[in-house]
């Protein structure tokens, strides 16, 4: 049977590839600068600050407008969406998987991302990120259980095309970050 018609195999490949991308870009923050026309975007690099171990502390700051609407929106949406594709793909790749297992996987994947960043000091641990990432994973799974098999196939193929497109764009439109030259006084 053709690979693209074997949804279980395609889902396994997409899950593995997406996990590798998450590890590279999200966990390790190993990302070059992306060029879009004359604009330059850099999302990598380490971040410093105090860890947040108090649930809803960051979320409340976002909702109260303390971080600005754009930052709050990007962080909320990004943290919800980052693991949602995995939740959506898991039931196709592993049809026997159940809600309890998905909830455990969602929590463990989210917690792993934050703990690795914290332990290796490449990010700031935030328990609210764990909650949002887990919720996104679970919402992806929920959506997958509500759509027909044909829509799952369409989503998987679309996701594969978009993922490959973004990855190829990144490979062809990124440049390594170089340290800024030291400023000297004349």
Q: Along the 186 residues of the chain, how does pLDDT read in single tens digits?
A: 444 558 899 899 999 999 998 998 888 877 777 777 777 766 666 677 899 999 999 999 998 988 788 888 888 999 999 999 999 999 989 999 999 999 999 999 999 999 998 998 888 999 999 999 999 999 999 999 999 888 888 888 888 899 888 888 888 877 776 655 554 555
- How high is the pLDDT of residue 1? 46
Select from 7, 6, 13, 18 the least CA-distant residue to 136: 18
- How high is the pLDDT of residue 151? 87
- How high is the pLDDT of residue 45? 61
The helix (H) or strand (E) run that includes residue 36 is: strand 33-36
What does the CA dihedral 118, 119, 122, 128 come to, rounded to 10 degrees? -20
């Amino acid at each position: 049977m053709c690979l693209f018609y074997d949804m279980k195999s395609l889902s396994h490949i997409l899950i593995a590839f997406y996990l590798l991308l998450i590890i590279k870009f999200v966990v390790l923050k190993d990302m070059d600068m992306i060029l879009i026309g004359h604009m330059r975007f850099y999302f990598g690099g380490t971040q410093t600050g105090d860890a947040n171990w108090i649930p809803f502390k960051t979320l409340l700051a976002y909702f109260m407008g303390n971080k600005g609407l754009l930052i709050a929106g990007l962080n909320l949406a990004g943290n919800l969406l980052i693991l949602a594709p995995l939740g959506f793909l898991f039931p196709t790749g592993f049809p026997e998987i159940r809600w309890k297992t998905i909830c455990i996987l969602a929590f463990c994947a989210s917690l792993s991302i934050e703990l690795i960043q914290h332990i290796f000091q490449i990010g700031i641990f935030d328990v609210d990120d764990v909650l949002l990432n887990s919720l996104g994973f679970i919402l992806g799974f929920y959506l997958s259980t509500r759509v027909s098999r044909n829509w799952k196939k369409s989503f998987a193929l679309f996701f594969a095309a978009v993922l490959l497109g973004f990855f190829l764009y990144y490979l062809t439109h990124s440049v390594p970050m170089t340290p800024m030259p030291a400023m000297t006084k004349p």
